[in-house]
Structure 1
Amino acid sequence: MNPEDLLKLVTHTMPFGKHKGVVLADLPGNYLNWFAREGFPKGEIGRLLALMQEIDHNGLSGLLKPLRPGR
């Protein structure tokens, strides 16, 4: 993981699907867990979704709060 990946989680939006346009850090845990079960997409988006799922699963989402734009 790159430190820049954490910033991407709070600035990049989901590019497709049910939650298109939602910031990756704001995706619901059940959606992230679905990807964990079914398989993450290839490429950067899959890597970021896997990272977000791990953060969410371990209850560490609050660590992203200081990185959010406007803080």
Structure 2
Amino acid sequence: MIDKKILLELVQTRMPYGKYKGSILCDIPEFYLAWYHQKGFPAGRLGMLLSTLYEIKLNGLEYLLREIRKM
């Protein structure tokens, strides 16, 4: 079970740097997350969020984020 607070962060937090700086995390494309997965996610909370988002997108669970985003 995924913590609802983490899902909320994925639809509210913006990427602080890089190619997708300023984008809401859940809008970052899967190929970019796959690149991070291969390279290594950053340390700390951001890395955990990106890693979680990668798993969500990889497993076709994006509908979870769409539902939260509607709120």
Normalised by the size of structure 2, how large is the TM-score? 0.92
Match of 1:6 in 2: 7
- Stretches of structure 1 that go unaligned for 5 or more consecutive residues are none
Q: Report how far residue 63 of structure 1 moved.
A: 1.1
Aligned to 2:47: 46
Aligned pairs, how many?
A: 70
CA offset at residue 66 of structure 1? 1.6
RMSD (Å), alpha carbons: 1.1
Query: What is residue 25 of structure 2 aligned with on the other side?
Result: 24
State the 1:10 CA deviation: 0.3
What CA deviation, in whole Å up to 9, does each residue of 1:21-70 have, x standing for no partner? Answer: 111001000000000000000000000000000000001111111211x5
The list of structure 1 runs, each at least 4 consecutive aligned residues, that deviate by more than 3 angstroms after superposition, is none
Secondary structure, in 3 states, of the residue corresponding to 2:15?
coil
Measure the CA separation in 2 of the matches of 1:62 and 1:21. Answer: 22
2:37 paired with 1:36:
yes
In the TM superposition, residue 2 of structure 1 has moved relative to its aligned partner by: 2.8
Name the aligned partner's letter for residue 51 of structure 1.
T
- The two structures have a TM-score, normalised by structure 1, of 0.92
